[in-house]
Amino acid sequence: MIPTPDLSHLTRHDLEQVYDPAEDTFLLLDALEQEAEALRKERPLICLEVGSGSGCVSAFLGKIFGQSSSLYLCTDINKHATRCTLATGKQNKILLDPITCSLAGPLSSRLCHAVDVLLFNPPYVPTDTDEASSAQSSADIAGSWAGGIDGMEITNRLLQDVECLLSPRGRFYLVALKQNDVPSIQSRMLEDFGLTSQVVIERRAGREFLLIIRFARTAHSGSGSTS
């Protein structure tokens, strides 16, 4: 059992500004715990969590691999989230390196084919496009859930960069809702980028049916780029 990170340092005020870890967060932790042995064998050097929020998931990843054996990069558009991510790292004795930016932003060119573990628990709630765009530009707590059409507008933008970011043996874990149309995400990633995928865990939580999808290159596609 890997203990859930200590979040007792986050105040009520913090959690009004930053996503409070919920069922989706915990499902991602469970998926990572289930995959822990296989992931450790790959000796990941660079981990990147997009949309790290409280920092709970990256701190958990740090507990799986250990502080000194990987770099834990985290991004979020919400500056309160990157502040909390840094604090959650400290509280759990895992140094997290947060950057306030959208998606992989300033990291994407230097991290070409270099990310060993990529994580995204995106804003996945279906809303109209305007609501998602205004949440993105205000970069506040509404950006935690407002996902636009099919809840996929923000996720789709990251999906375009995933193949480019993943190292030859890298893995990408994505949180999704059943309404996000998981089979279509999977077939698109295979057709457009040659990434194979598998649902590693799924769970109903109240009205939401949540899944974690793991993407990786096929054994033979190597580090071939499609760009």
Partner 1 sequence: MVRLITHNLLACHVKGCTTNNFPLVFQDVQVELQVAEFNPDFIRNMLSRLEWTALVNAAKQVGDTSLPPEQPDMMDDELLQKLHHVLMEIHVTDGAMVCQNCNHIYPISNGIPNMLLAEHEIG
Ligand X SMILES: C[S@@+](CC[C@H](N)C(=O)[O-])C[C@H]1O[C@@H](n2cnc3c(N)ncnc32)[C@H](O)[C@@H]1O
Residues within the interface to ligand X (CB under 6 A): 19, 21, 24-25, 28, 50-54, 56-57, 75-78, 81, 102-103, 121-123, 136, 143-144, 154
User: Least distance from C-beta 182 to ligand X, angstroms?
Assistant: 17
Cβ distance 94 to 62 under 8 Å? yes
Q: What are phi and psi of 23, to 5 degrees?
A: -55, -40
Find which of partner 1, ligand X, none residue 84 binds, CB within 5 to 8 Å per kind: none
Number of residues written out for the chain:
227
User: Least distance from C-beta 30 to partner 1, angstroms?
Assistant: 27
- Picking from 71, 72, 88, 159, the residue whose alpha carbon sits closest to that of residue 122 is 159
Find which of ligand X, partner 1, none residue 57 binds, CB within 5 to 8 Å per kind: ligand X
Cβ distance 80 to 18 under 8 Å? yes
Residue closer to ligand X by CB (options 146, 166) is 146
User: Least distance from C-beta 55 to partner 1, angstroms?
Assistant: 12
Find which of partner 1, ligand X, none residue 92 binds, CB within 5 to 8 Å per kind: none
Distance, in Å, from the CA atom of 10 to the CA atom of 32, rounded to the nearest integer, reads 23
Residue closer to partner 1 by CB (options 24, 116) is 116
Find which of ligand X, partner 1, none residue 68 binds, CB within 5 to 8 Å per kind: partner 1
Residue closer to partner 1 by CB (options 71, 205) is 71
Residue closer to ligand X by CB (options 36, 99) is 99
Residue closer to ligand X by CB (options 16, 224) is 16
Distance, in Å, from the CA atom of 54 to the CA atom of 14, rounded to the nearest integer, reads 9
Q: How far is CA 85 from CA 76, 99, 102, 117, in A?
A: 9, 10, 15, 18
Q: How far is CA 106 from the centre of its chain?
A: 17
Find which of partner 1, ligand X, none residue 110 binds, CB within 5 to 8 Å per kind: partner 1
Could you tell me the two tokens for 219? Answer: 């054994």
